[in-house]
């Protein structure tokens, strides 16, 4: 299929998990893509897997000045941009009493502040029409204990799809979001738990999903392809829940 034929796309956090699978599917749909990441190992692995048809850029999602450099690199490579998938993000789960200001700021810098200023930096080169898809989370809806800061950061992104949709639709820019439930990605391995505790946490989370399983990265990527494509031209300011029914509880 060629639903994204001729489209120029940027995927942040595109070297692992949902971002990498979305890159694969964008390429299969005919897009010209760039992906970002920070880990040298995953950057190199993505270069090898995606091949010469993809531009792989080291870029820190939390660095506001870096967003301008990234926009400049995209402008030089592609001349413009049709699709932005804001996927880079981190999660940290702990009770209210354990939070400190540096950890709070880190979550917001990566999940909210960086993406906001990336969109701003890309405005001059975003095509008309263009599609922006934000990766948010079911956690913003369900009140899961110990997820307060992570959930709040994702709720901020969900607010942006509405406010920026109203602001940018006249410019031909659509904003929408995918809100995944628990997905089988490396994200959970980065939470700092021991292997034993991680299994217990994963089993506990899975028990909250009516579908009885973690989602697959391909299930999110397929939804992003739809929202990025012209098939979703009338879809504006929407949030697509892909959570196995978790948000219904």
Sheet holding 126-135, edge to edge: 54-58, 32-37, 8-11, 81-86, 126-135, 173-180, 239-242
Please say whether the dihedral angle defined by the alpha carbons of residues 94, 184, 59 and 167, taken in this order, is positive or negative.
negative
Distance CA 105, CA 43 (A): 25
Half-sphere exposure of 227 (CA within 13 A, CB side): 28
Distance CA 201, CA 208 (A): 11
At 40, give phi and psi (nearest 5°): -55, -35
Alpha-carbon separation of residue 186 from 171, 192, 217 (angstroms): 36, 12, 11
Indicate if 150 belongs to the active site.
Answer: yes
Residue matched to tokens 């505790």: 197
Indicate which residue of 108, 116, 150, 234 is catalytic.
Answer: 150
Active site residues: 150
């Amino acid at each position: 299929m060629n639903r994204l034929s001729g489209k120029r796309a940027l995927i942040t956090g595109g070297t692992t998990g949902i971002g990498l699978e979305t890159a694969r599917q964008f390429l299969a749909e005919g897009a010209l893509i760039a992906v970002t990441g920070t880990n040298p190992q995953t950057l190199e692995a993505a270069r090898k897997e995606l091949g010469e048809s993809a531009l792989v850029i080291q870029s820190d999602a939390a660095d506001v000045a870096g967003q301008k450099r990234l926009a400049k690199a995209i402008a030089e490579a592609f001349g413009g941009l049709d699709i932005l998938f804001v996927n880079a993000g981190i999660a940290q789960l702990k009770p209210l009493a354990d939070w400190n200001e540096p950890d709070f700021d880190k979550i917001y810098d990566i999940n909210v502040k960086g993406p906001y200023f990336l969109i701003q930096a890309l405005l001059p080169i975003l095509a008309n029409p263009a599609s922006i898809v934000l990766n948010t989370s079911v956690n913003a809806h369900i009140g899961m204990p110990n997820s307060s800061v992570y959930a709040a950061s994702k709720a901020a992104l969900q607010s942006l799809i509405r406010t920026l949709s109203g602001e940018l639709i006249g410019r031909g820019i659509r904003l929408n979001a995918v809100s995944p439930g628990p997905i089988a990605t490396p994200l959970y391995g980065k939470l700092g738990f021991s292997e034993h505790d991680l299994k217990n946490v994963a089993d506990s989370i899975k028990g909250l999903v009516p579908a009885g399983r973690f989602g697959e990265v391909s299930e999110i990527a397929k939804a992003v392809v739809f929202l990025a494509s012209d098939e979703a031209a009338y879809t504006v300011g929407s949030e697509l829940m892909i959570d196995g029914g978790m948000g219904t509880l």
